Structure 1
Amino acid sequence: MSEFTYLNDMQGIQSFIMEHQLSFLFISRPNCSVCQVLLPQVQEMMEQYPSIKTGYIDASEVEEVAGYFSIFTAPVLLLFVEGKEYIREARIVHMDLFEDKVKRIYENVVG
């Protein structure tokens, strides 16, 4: 399974997004059963897209992340292309639809 970079402050999160052409954030909260089920599925899926740099954020440790990204629930999945948000999925994520979106963007950016 793909290992996600653990991001624990806003400066690190902003740098992570800006330093990579394709970056993905999985934002979670403790005791979130949906998060616990979804994370391994997303990690496995992301192995197919090696150019996407992946990050994990615990929103209870980086509380300002909710305001910065206008997040009201968990989990939240965000895909950025050159620092701009292209995909946002929250709470209930249909993995097949999510993967179709990621694949389309990946093929357009990476080729």
Structure 2
Amino acid sequence: MREFHELNSLEEVDAWIRTNQLALLYISRPNCSVCHGLKPQVQNLMDNYLKMQLGHADAQQIEELAGRFSIFTVPVLLVFWEGKEYIREARIVHMDLLEEKLDKLYNHVAG
């Protein structure tokens, strides 16, 4: 199970997205039961995408995240390639559909 890199400020999040060609950002809140249940499922799935960097940000700690990424609920999964958002999943994430989307992007860019 892969671990997420903890990001503690909006500046760290932006720098992390810029410096990682293929990146998944997991945004959650501490009191969100859906967030806590989904995170290990995402971690296990990410074993299939070793070239993808994993980052985690706490929307409660970094209040600016909501405005920066137009987030209205948590959890949110954002996948970036070369700094551009390609995949967005929020709240109820269907893991099989997420895997299909990730496969398409990953096979195209990480070949």
Q: Does 1:52 align with 2:52?
A: yes
TM-score w.r.t. the length of structure 2 is 0.98
* Map of 1:68 onto structure 2: 68
Q: Does 1:42 align with 2:42?
A: yes
CA distance in 1, matches of 2:56, 2:47: 15
Tell me how far 1:31 sits from its aligned partner. 1.3
After superposition, give the CA deviation of every residue in 1:45-103 in whole Å (9 maximum; x if it has no partner). 01110110000011000000111000000000000000000000000000000011001
Tell me how far 1:30 sits from its aligned partner. 1.4
CA distance in 2, matches of 1:77, 1:109: 18
SS of 1:85's partner is strand
CA distance in 2, matches of 1:23, 1:15: 12
* Map of 2:29 onto structure 1: 29
Residue identity over aligned pairs, in percent, reads: 57
Find runs of 4+ consecutive structure 1 residues off by over 3 angstroms: none
- The answer for unaligned runs of 5 or more in structure 2 is none
Q: How many residues align?
A: 111
* Map of 1:7 onto structure 2: 7
TM-score w.r.t. the length of structure 1 is 0.98
* Map of 1:104 onto structure 2: 104
Q: Does 1:81 align with 2:89?
A: no
CA distance in 1, matches of 2:23, 2:83: 8
CA distance in 2, matches of 1:101, 1:20: 19
CA distance in 2, matches of 1:57, 1:95: 20
Q: CA RMSD in A?
A: 0.5
The letter of the residue matching 1:50 is L
